[in-house]
């Protein structure tokens, strides 16, 4: 397994790669073939992605820049160089986002009688309704804070909407500081819908910022408002947990979570009308530099426009509705254990329903023959039927063990709450292994049957989250194969107890065997190519960053292996480099659904090895997380994975982007009719009304 790591010039910078992914997301908002309200939604998704990028990646870069600005990454760029390029690219992308909003999406919505009414365009009746709304709904919950020696600049919550107000005159106490801050409570909607008869259009909306701008003077009686400027600060949101000092992870996290809202500032967003004197003042308050200022033409919190497509009942402006399918085996046999007993069952979300997974746990909770249930939980949501069924199972005195990953980023609070409820119901709750996130997706049921105890399990590529299962593409496998279920039981035993790393019959596991297996599988194809045999590798994942995997792929390409990589997000590998990666093609599919499968295919002399996994090809997945990869052993299921998880994505010429050697992406030339992989799968697997 000796590998020469790639030269820096043969790798793409991680942060710049993430921004390239977000450029492709933004392109969905630009594409006029995307339904109009979905274009607005993609603008919001872009904002959400960029928020997390600043909260985590840029925050990390800032810390590194202070500690060691000259330190170089695998791509050869120093921290300082990376930060400068990230800043330049991010500013350009945000500028383009607001150009799309103002010059394309909003005018197109107005043509469809969906309007966002500006203050300067309110008629008398609208202005009166808005004034009444302000006094009735907004003013009682607003707390203006005048800035003076007794009232220093307030602690501003991460990503909250705020207004910097310039004032003249004196208040009742004779104070004339000239500045104040108004914080908009998070409970307030950021977009208010006008009554249909008053709007003058089918759907009329007013931004909360417009209402506050119009009536902010009501908060400062006797003073003149000289200016009112919306702003928003993004903060470092990574949580610090000291593994060495940690005695109770849950207690430490509960103490750390409140500080997430007040981490170090990394970005300031202000309206374009904000004058230089105010932007300089705000930058100073947050300890930011001019390059960390983002001055935008429109609302500073576009994420909150996500509610608009939900409010507008215009099916013609959205993606077509669809009915999720259900595998025929489960339609024929409602008893899920009986159905699994007849053979492995593949679930392909969101084209097929997530309900069978919930049903698997529900029937296990209610079945008197079921003795034990074990499950991992990484993300499951605040409202989870699956978690409620686990609680019911514990209340029925079944042995319920749940491995809850408390460090699932931005889901920590929900996971803590579920952990407490499970414990109260009598379940065994384990927080995994200190230093390793439990990212594996596994559920195991132990059932007493006529011939003794029998195990059933579910393995997946995605989370146990019913809402995202309608938005993310993932595979799930229901099986009762003895050796595979034994492997799953062994992994649970390893996580919850103590003991050495065992050798599994089929399951591959991080941090022990998954990386080694992948390298060997790539090298096996390399050896076959060198021997003049046919050799193919196809891998579909979210991210590709691990240097030794990339080195092995480069060697395979140089040996003549045909390599097809379908990487939705960041990819550090450069395809098409002469003499290095001539035989590697990288494509990214961006569409209605978030591509989330992890599928790995190796020709292996015609045997066609197919593996599914919870892990991407990243350092963290291989070495700092507990992950599982599992082979597809049933020939019928293997055929489905190939025909649903690989071939449509290689054929796609509508949603696909092809990566260039310099790290940029282009749409492939369309030859003949357009083929959309997601639309194809919706048609192939759709349910019946």
Which residues are known to be catalytic? 439
Tally of CA atoms within 13 A in the half-sphere of 346 that contains its CB: 22
CB atoms within 10 A of CB 471: 13
- Which residues, in sequence order, are CB contacts of 640 under 8 Å at separation 6+? 346, 348
Rounded distance between C-alpha atoms, residue 73 and residue 241, angstroms: 24
The alpha-helical segments, DSSP class H, found in 448-587 are: 482-496, 514-530, 547-559
CA distances from 466 to 185, 379, 450, 575 (A): 29, 10, 33, 36
Rounded distance between C-alpha atoms, residue 654 and residue 42, angstroms: 17
CB atoms within 10 A of CB 632: 24
CA distances from 365 to 100, 397, 508 (A): 50, 10, 28
In 28-64, which positions are buried (b, 16+ CB within 10 angstroms) versus exposed (e)? bbbeeebbbbbbbbbbbbbbebbbebbbbbbbebbeb
| Range list of β-strands (E), 12-146 | 114-116, 143-146
Q: Burial of 523 by CB count in 10 Å (0-12 exposed, 13-18 middle, 19+ buried)?
A: middle
Rounded distance between C-alpha atoms, residue 597 and residue 632, angstroms: 14
Peptide bond into 563 cis (omega under 30): no
- Which residues, in sequence order, are CB contacts of 248 under 8 Å at separation 6+? none
Please write down the HEC assignment for all residues of 590-633.
CCCCEECCCEEEECHHHCCEEEEECCCECHHHHHCEEEEEEECC
Is the Cβ–Cβ distance between 461 and 474 less than 8 Å? Answer: yes
Is the Cβ–Cβ distance between 287 and 265 less than 8 Å? Answer: yes
Is the Cβ–Cβ distance between 613 and 514 less than 8 Å? Answer: yes
- Which residues, in sequence order, are CB contacts of 505 under 8 Å at separation 6+? 483, 484, 486, 487
Q: Return the axis-axis angle of helices 79-100 and 59-67, rounded to nearest 10°.
A: 150
Rounded distance between C-alpha atoms, residue 432 and residue 636, angstroms: 34
First-residue to last-residue Cα distance in the chain: 53
CB atoms within 10 A of CB 439: 23
The alpha-helical segments, DSSP class H, found in 371-474 are: 385-395, 412-425
Rounded distance between C-alpha atoms, residue 613 and residue 389, angstroms: 25
Is the Cβ–Cβ distance between 512 and 487 less than 8 Å? Answer: no
CB atoms within 10 A of CB 384: 20
Instruction: Give the gyration radius of the chain's Cα atoms.
Output: 27
- Which residues, in sequence order, are CB contacts of 121 under 8 Å at separation 6+? none
Rounded distance between C-alpha atoms, residue 402 and residue 390, angstroms: 9
Helix, strand, coil abundance in the chain, percent, nearest 5: 40, 25, 35
């Amino acid at each position: 397994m000796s590998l020469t790591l790639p030269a820096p010039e043969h790798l793409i910078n991680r942060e710049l790669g993430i921004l390239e992914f977000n450029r492709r997301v933004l392109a969905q908002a630009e594409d006029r073939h995307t339904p109009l309200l979905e274009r607005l939604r993609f603008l919001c998704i872009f904002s959400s992605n960029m928020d997390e990028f600043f909260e985590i990646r840029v925050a990390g870069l800032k810390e590194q820049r202070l500690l060691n600005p000259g330190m170089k990454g695998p791509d050869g760029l120093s921290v300082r160089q990376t930060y400068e390029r990230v800043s330049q690219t991010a500013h350009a992308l945000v500028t383009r986002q607001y150009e799309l909003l103002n010059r394309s999406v909003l005018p197109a919505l107005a043509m469809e009688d969906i309007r966002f009414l500006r203050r300067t365009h309110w008629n008398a009746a609208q202005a009166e309704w808005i004034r009444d709304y302000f006094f009735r709904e907004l003013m009682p919950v607003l707390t203006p804070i005048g800035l003076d020696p007794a009232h220093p600049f307030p602690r501003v919550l991460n990503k909250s909407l705020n207004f910097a107000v310039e004032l003249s005159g004196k208040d009742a106490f004779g104070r004339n500081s000239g500045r104040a801050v108004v914080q908009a409570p998070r409970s307030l909607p950021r977009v208010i819908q006008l009554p249909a008869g008053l709007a003058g259009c089918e759907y009329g909306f007013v931004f909360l910022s417009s209402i506050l701008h119009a009536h902010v003077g009501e908060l400062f009686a006797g003073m003149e408002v000289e200016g009112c400027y919306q702003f928003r600060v993004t903060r470092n949101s990574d949580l610090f947990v000291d593994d060495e000092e940690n005695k109770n992870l849950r207690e430490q996290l509960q103490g750390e979570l409140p500080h997430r809202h007040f981490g170090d500032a990394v970005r300031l967003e202000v309206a374009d009308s904000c004058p230089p004197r105010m932007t300089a003042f705000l930058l100073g308050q947050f300890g930011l530099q001019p390059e960390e200022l983002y001055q935008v033409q429109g609302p500073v919190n576009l994420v909150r426009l996500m509610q608009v497509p939900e409010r507008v009942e215009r099916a013609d402006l959205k993606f077509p509705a669809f009915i999720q399918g259900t595998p025929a085996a489960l339609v024929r046999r409602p008893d899920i254990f009986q159905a699994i007993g007849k053979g492995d069952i593949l679930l392909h979300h969101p084209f097929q329903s997530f309900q069978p997974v919930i049903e698997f746990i529900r029937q296990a909770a209610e079945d008197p023959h079921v003795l034990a249930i074990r499950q991992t939980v990484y993300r499951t949501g605040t409202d989870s039927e699956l978690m409620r069924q686990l609680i019911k199972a514990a209340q029925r005195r079944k042995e319920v063990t749940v491995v809850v990953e408390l460090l699932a980023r931005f889901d920590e609070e929900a996971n803590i709450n579920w952990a407490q409820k499970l414990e109260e119901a009598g379940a065994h709750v384990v927080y995994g292994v200190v230093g390793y996130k439990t990212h594996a997706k596994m559920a195991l049921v132990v059932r007493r049957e006529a011939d003794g105890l029998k195990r059933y399990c579910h393995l997946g590529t995605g989370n146990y989250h019913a809402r995202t299962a309608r938005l993310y593409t993932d595979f799930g496998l229901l099986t009762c194969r003895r050796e595979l279920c034994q492997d799953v039981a062994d992994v649970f035993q390893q996580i919850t107890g103590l003991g050495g790393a065992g050798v599994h019959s089929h399951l591959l596991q991080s941090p022990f065997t998954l990386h080694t297996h992948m390298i060997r599988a790539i090298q096996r194809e390399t050896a076959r190519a060198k021997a003049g045999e046919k050799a193919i590798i196809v891998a579909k994942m979210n991210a590709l960053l691990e240097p030794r995997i990339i080195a092995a792929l480069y060697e395979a390409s140089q040996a003549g292996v045909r390599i097809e990589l379908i990487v939705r997000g960041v990819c550090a590998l450069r395809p098409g480099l002469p003499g290095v990666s001539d035989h590697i093609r990288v494509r990214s599919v961006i569409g209605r659904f978030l591509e989330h499968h992890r599928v790995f295919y190796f020709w292996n002399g015609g045997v066609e090895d197919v593996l599914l996994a919870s892990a991407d090809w990243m350092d963290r997945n291989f070495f700092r997380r507990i992950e599982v990869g599992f082979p597809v052993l049933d020939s019928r299921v293997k055929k489905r994975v190939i025909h649903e998880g690989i071939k449509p994505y290689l054929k796609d010429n509508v949603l696909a982007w092809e990566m260039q050697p310099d790290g940029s992406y282009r749409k492939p030339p369309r030859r003949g009719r357009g083929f959309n992989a997601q639309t194809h799968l919706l048609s192939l697997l759709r349910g019946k009304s």
